[in-house]
Amino acid sequence: MGVIALEGLEFFAYHGYYEEEQKIGNKYSVDITVETSLSKAAVEDQLTETVNYEDLYRIAATVMSGKSRLLEHIAFQIIEEIRKLYPFVQKVVVSVSKHNPPIGGICNRARITLEG
């Protein structure tokens, strides 16, 4: 078993519970961790035997280009798309952070983490 991770993916997107957030947009960060067997890829040195980082990024970018009200929904969509493309993975963990969330006070970011 091994871990493949993309950390600190950054996007400017138009998600948010409030209509104003969906109009003005905000900066978001996404972290993706995938647990799967890396043995065959390690031995054969073939990209076809593992999870391609570019695919993970493309999935995150596609989901982030849409509009969702909740960070939980964003993470769920990313997990679902990864599982469709790579059904053999054991576990997918996605964290989504919203920078400077509108909570009425100082907060660098709000983050959720979902496992699927």
Task: Tell me which of 23, 67, 91, 98 is the catalytic residue.
Answer: 98
Catalytic residue at 98? yes
15 close to 98: Cβ distance less than 8 angstroms: yes
The CA distance from 90 to 103, in Å, is 36
Angle at 78 between CA 76 and CA 81, to 5 degrees: 110
Q: Which residues are catalytic?
A: 98
